[in-house]
Structure 1
Amino acid sequence: MPRNTKDTTGVLYESDVETVDGGLSTELSNRKTTDGSKLELVWVNIVLFVILHISSLYGVWLLFTSATWTTVVLFWPTVVVTILGVSGGAHRLWAHRTFKANTPLKLIFLFLNTLAFQDAVYYWARDHRVHHKYTETDADPYNSQRGWFFAHIGWLCCRKHPEVVEKGKQIDLSDLEADPLIMFQKKYYLLLMPIICFVLPTVLPMYLWGESLNVSWHVMALLRWCLSLNLIWTVNSSAHMHGMRPYDKNICPVDQGFLIFFRVGEGYHNYHHVFPWDYKSAELGKYSQDVTTKFIEFMAYLGWAYDLKSVSLDLVKQRVQRSGDGSHPVWGWGDKDQLKEDVGVTTITHQRNEK
């Protein structure tokens, strides 16, 4: 019989409403549409994004022609840690509460999240919970049914659909409101963000290794920010359209090869929408070895992260065999063999996290 399960944040996930054969319920299927209403453009945002991307292209030129070797080497790690502030902090810690963190780790994530400049955690988590509850509907902030461009960046260039606003007011955010650090960032975000996202990445390279102002601003500030934005936006766009659905073929999110290649943690998006409470991006050994997952596990080793939530292999296998598209590397296409080394690695990880 169908199950209707809510997590502790009150969010109902599209993957949690199933029929016996693994398909979506009639109620949810009927919601997966768009009313086709005309978008109200926000020209200020459009102009700013055009300027950002043109300036970032200039930053690419500077990176390969004028930047010091220190800037060239450190640019890529700064992109990764910028994304980590969203993928590990706003996403896995606060939006889905897949693990708990002590105060020092929360402060690190809040700093990195502000460095990423994708709005305060409070608003990011609210919109993401709405996204999971109403995926591919007009209440989804980045509804992929409106096309790739809208899901990628267009949703930030127009007014929110009334359904997004209305459903957002109904999302339970009491856990975030009870966290003084989250509310501090929310209150002072417009003061903290320019300093952390733009001033520090510009000033520090100039002071620490003598980089020029021109390179520091266009590479370490603008290009870093622009690249991190587009990589994360790709999760909303391409990862809802082009890829495999090894866990549930009836929903739009996919495992996206392009994002998996970058190993920043969000490429296994079909898995994430089926098991959003898992702190990992995927379930088996090498398939879950992304930067975000390893960072969380390292913090758990230090004792800074704890109560890591995960999904048993039996539950994953059952879901793959029931509703997957057959592309799973272990249980897909009727293959009954299991990768012993992968299962072993995952079992050890589970046992360590349960201690």
Structure 2
Amino acid sequence: MRISFKMKKAKIKKLAPGTPRVLFSFLSAYFCFLMTALGVTAGAHRLWSHRSYKAKLPLRIFLAVANSMAFQNDIYEWSRDHRVHHKYSETDADPHNARRGFFFSHIGWLFVRKHKDVIEKGRKLDFTDLLDDPVVRFQRKYYKSSVVLMCFVIPTVVPWYLWGESLWNAYFLASILRYTISLNVTWLVNSAAHMYGNRPYDKNINPRQNTFVTLGAIGEGFHNYHHTFPFDYSASELGLKFNPTTWFIDFMFWLGLVTERKQAPKEMIQARKERTGDGSA
């Protein structure tokens, strides 16, 4: 044991001189952020909540692992709440009803008991398809241990082991700071994207197009579009729009890991703009 420890320390010392540890550590934290985001956007949101595309087993496993790194409730619970949010948006049955204010829709809803309407009306929805997926069942069963491993242990240990970053710096950068930022970016979809921005597809609903949220949540800020066409795997009109989650799904399609991507026809989108849009598009 003593010999192997000395060899490891020697290896780190050999790699350390001239190595931009800080740069590597920031890149590692950003990589974890992107993986965290995909676990929510491509995984819990577009795949499991909306069934907007189908993913083969290897990709579902990856997205479940990434979702555990996100630590935002397991896939089943996240998807359940999100379906209720869409069905009863901006009512008392909406888990993070934006009509109750920015703070409540952003983070306050997590500090209070759910409104009775959320529970009562949520029971009327069918979530059996979620538990029919063995990946969802496995992640739900071992969620706590998977969160400890993926959200905290691995992001901390990898920088320490590979390029000699201190455990203290690795923990607070790649784990705590990354986790805090990813949480608030996701919550902004519930708060800011329901309050600030234009409504080119449906002016009669609260969700809006919000560029800031789009940049932070890797493509989830086209929220007026998403609530108008929730079945669309891209959650936005395709083209030159900034939507890394859609790019990821398209790349997985090219690799053969994604099938049956659902998309709103251009004619349907244009007709909806003309009928209910605010004229901003």
TM-score by length of 1: 0.72
3-state SS in 2 of match to 1:282 = coil
Q: Distance in 2 between matches of 1:211 and 1:157?
A: 35
What amino acid sits opposite 1:161 in the alignment?
A: H
Shift of 1:263: 6.3
The alpha carbon displacement at 1:67 in A equals: 6.4
User: Residue 106 of structure 2 corresponds to which residue in structure 1?
Assistant: 152
The SS at the match of 1:285 is coil
Residue 232 of structure 1 corresponds to 186
What is the root-mean-square deviation in Å for CA atoms of aligned residues?
Answer: 1.3
Amino acid across the alignment from 1:298: F
- For residue 277 of structure 2, what is the aligned residue in structure 1? 324
In the alignment, is residue 303 of structure 1 matched against residue 256 of structure 2?
Answer: yes
Do 2:26 and 2:174's aligned partners in 1 also have CA atoms closer than 8 Å?
no
Separation in structure 1 between the aligned mates of residue 65 and residue 144 of structure 2, nearest angstrom: 13
- Identity among equivalent pairs (%): 50
Question: In 2, distance between residues paired with 1:301 and 1:180?
Answer: 25
8 Å CA contact 1:95, 1:126 repeated in 2: yes
8 Å contact kept, 2:107–2:187 = yes
Identify the residue that residue 41 of structure 2 maps to in structure 1: 87
SS in 2 for 1:252: coil
Using the TM superposition, give the Cα deviation of residue 242 of structure 1 relative to its aligned residue in structure 2, in angstroms: 0.6
State which of 92, 96, 101 in structure 2 corresponds to 1:142.
Answer: 96
Say whether residues 1:124 and 2:78 are aligned partners: yes
**Which residue identity is paired with 1:103?**
L
Counterpart of 1:99 in structure 2 is: 53
Q: Does 1:183 pair with 2:137? A: yes
Post-superposition CA distance 1:132-171 (Å, at most 9, x none): 0000111100000110000000001111111111222222
Give the TM-score of the pair, scaled to structure 2: 0.91
Cα offsets for 1:110-140 (capped at 9, x unmatched): 0000000001000000000000000011110
**Correspondent of 2:233 among 279, 284, 309:** 279
Check 1:67–1:237 CA distance in 2 against 1; reply closer, same or farther (3 A cut): farther
Alpha carbons of structure 1 residues 99 and 163: separation in structure 2 relative to 1, 3 Å: same
SS at match of 2:96: coil
Tell me the residue number matched to 1:293. Answer: 246
1:1-355 maps to which residues of 2 (within 5 A)?
Answer: 68-262=22-216, 264-287=218-241, 289-328=242-281
Distance in 1 separating the partners of 2:164 and 2:21: 10
User: What amino acid maps onto 2:266 in structure 1?
Assistant: L
Mapped to 2, the partners of 1:74 and 1:234 lie a distance apart of 24
4+ residue stretches of structure 1 with deviation over 4 A?
Answer: none
Contact 1:263 1:290 in 2 (8 A): no
Unaligned runs of 5+ in 1: 1-65, 329-355
Cα distance in 1 between the residues matched to 2:29 and 2:157:
14
Please list every run of 5 or more consecutive structure 2 residues that lacks an aligned counterpart in the other structure. 1-19
- Cα-to-partner distance string for 1:214-271 (whole Å, 9 max, x where unaligned): 1111110011111001001000000000100000000000001211234601010000
Q: Is the 8 Å Cα contact of residues 156 and 167 (structure 2) preserved in structure 1?
A: yes
The answer on whether the counterparts of 1:265 and 1:290 sit within 8 Å (CA) in structure 2 is yes
| SS of residue paired to 1:123 | helix
CA distance in 2, matches of 1:224, 1:262: 12
Q: Is the 8 A contact 2:28 2:159 kept in 1?
A: no
- Cα separation, 1, equivalents of 2:136 and 2:45: 13
